[in-house]
Amino acid sequence: MKILEELIIQNGKVIDNSILKVDSFLNHQIDANLMFEIGKEFKERFKDKKIDKILTIEASGIAMGVTVAYFFGVPLVFAKKKKPVTANSVYTSKVFSFTKKKEYDIIVSKDFIKAGEKVLIVDDFLAMGGAVIGLESIVKQAGAEIVGVGIVIEKGFQEGAKLLREKGLHVESLAIIKGFENGKVIL
């Protein structure tokens, strides 16, 4: 996706030749126009699929999730990062963050993912796939079905996308980072 790749090249910051910071347009300050273009692009890439819900994780998945949901004309549901409190009414799962080297809990109310629903998972980053695997567990617990995974920035040099495709998931990434060289992003 050209506008996204240009923003990554122009405004992404590479730290220690290994971390890409995109907090000036994707996950702290947010380029609202880019969010709209992302919503439109995912609608195009998954246009042949019947989709009932968009599912993401707070906080940085929400801004793009809401535009994707808008273009599909369906609700967005975001998983919350917190300890499950009322076990009867929520699905819970664990996400292992390889970046932060720790596990955290996510929850989704049982009211908002129902058996038989077709769910499109979206997220801002895909590296090792931890977040998507956590969301997949929640969709399965609900008896719903994942029809696709939409990622804004895939770290192509990590295992996540391969792992998800081996599970039979249809993954679409809008930008794929091949690696870093001399403090620059290689797309």
- Contact positions vs its own copies (CB under 8 A): 23-25, 28-33, 35-36, 58-59, 62-63, 65-67, 69-70, 73-78, 80, 108-109, 111-112
Length of the chain: 187
- Residue 3, classified by CB atoms within 10 Å of its CB into exposed (0-12), middle (13-18) or buried (19+), is middle
Minimum Å distance from CB 67 to its own copies? Answer: 7
Token digits for 11?
Answer: 């405004």
SS3 129: coil
Kind of pairing between the strands at 171-177 and 13-15: unpaired
Beta bridge partners of 148: 120
Residue 16 or residue 111: which is nearer to its own copies going by CB?
111
Minimum Å distance from CB 41 to its own copies? Answer: 16
Minimum Å distance from CB 94 to its own copies? Answer: 19
Minimum Å distance from CB 61 to its own copies? Answer: 9
Round to whole Å and give the CA distance between 146 and 135: 10
Minimum Å distance from CB 84 to its own copies? Answer: 14
Minimum Å distance from CB 54 to its own copies? Answer: 8
Round to whole Å and give the CA distance between 72 and 117: 14
Q: Are 122 and 65 in contact (CB under 8 A)?
A: yes
Residue 70 or residue 96: which is nearer to its own copies going by CB?
70
Kind of pairing between the strands at 76-81 and 90-97: unpaired
Residue 45 or residue 110: which is nearer to its own copies going by CB?
110
Torsion sign (Cα): 97, 103, 107, 113: positive
Residue 32 or residue 115: which is nearer to its own copies going by CB?
32
Residue 32 or residue 182: which is nearer to its own copies going by CB?
32
Residue 66 or residue 187: which is nearer to its own copies going by CB?
66
